[in-house]
């Protein structure tokens, strides 16, 4: 089935570097198509104008559009990670040269914001037991990178985490 909605990412002049970075990190990823600027610009002849690429089968488009627009936290890419190993790997790779934030958020070296989140976080936060979900929320608010075991410990009411 063809993807109907495609995120379109505006870069200053480093879209090709960003695409190569992202496709090297995520499995099942590839560059689908690249269009380059010609003789009459507005970018330098031969530089990437637009590109289509896929990360885990999700299609994205990128543009080298100049310095007019920057990424903000208002838009982020949400990545579901089933294991702590996957969280750890993506957290380190995507944040390299960027900025680690709180509650699973990070900014990569291109300024794009990501959320590296395990589905279990939502399950624990949506517990019908408000005391348990409250402990999970409190634990998450103390985290930079999400740690599944600490979330589960908070849910279970383990004393050492509650005091931390």
Tokens describing residue 81? 């990670």
Residue ranges, CATH 3.10.180.10, the chain:
71-164
Q: What is the pTM of this model?
A: 0.92
Give the list of residues 6+ apart from residue 89 with CB closer than 8 angstroms, or none.
Answer: none
pLDDT digits (tens, 9 = 90+) for 74-99: 999 999 999 999 999 999 999 999 99
Mean pLDDT over the full length of the chain: 94
What sign for the dihedral angle of Cα 115, 98, 25, 151? Answer: negative
CATH architecture type of domain 1-69: 2-Layer Sandwich (3.30)
Report the length, in residues, of the chain. 164
Q: Interior CA angle at 4 toward 1 and 61, to 5°?
A: 110
**Quick one: which H or E segment has residue 164?**
none
- Residue 129 Cα distances to 103, 117, 125, 163, angstroms: 21, 21, 9, 20
Domain 71-164 belongs to what topology?
A: 2,3-Dihydroxybiphenyl 1,2-Dioxygenase; domain 1 (3.10.180)
Rg, the chain, Cα only: 19
In the chain, CATH 3.30.720.100 covers 1-69
Distance between CA atoms of residues 66 and 42, nearest Å: 9
Each residue's pLDDT tens digit, 24-59: 999 999 999 999 999 988 889 999 999 999 999 999
Return d(Cα 100, Cα 106) in angstroms, integer.
5
31 burial level (CB within 10 Å; 0-12, 13-18, 19+)? middle
The confidence band for 159, taking pLDDT boundaries of 50, 70 and 90, is: low
């Amino acid at each position: 089935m063809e993807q109907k909605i495609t995120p379109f990412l505006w870069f200053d002049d480093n879209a090709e570097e960003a695409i190569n970075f992202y496709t090297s990190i995520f499995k099942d990823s590839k560059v689908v198509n690249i269009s380059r600027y010609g003789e009459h610009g507005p970018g330098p002849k031969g530089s990437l104008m637009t590109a289509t690429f896929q990360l885990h089968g999700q299609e994205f488009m990128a543009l080298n559009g100049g310095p007019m627009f920057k990424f903000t936290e208002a838009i982020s890419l949400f990545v579901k990670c089933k294991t702590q190993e996957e969280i750890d790997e993506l957290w380190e790779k995507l944040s390299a040269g960027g900025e680690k934030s709180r509650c699973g958020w990070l900014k990569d070296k291109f300024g794009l914001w990501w959320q590296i989140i395990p589905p279990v976080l939502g399950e624990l936060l949506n517990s019908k037991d408000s005391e348990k979900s409250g402990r999970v929320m409190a634990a998450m608010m103390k985290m930079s990178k999400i740690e599944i075991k600490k979330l589960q410990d908070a849910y279970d009411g383990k004393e050492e985490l509650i005091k931390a």
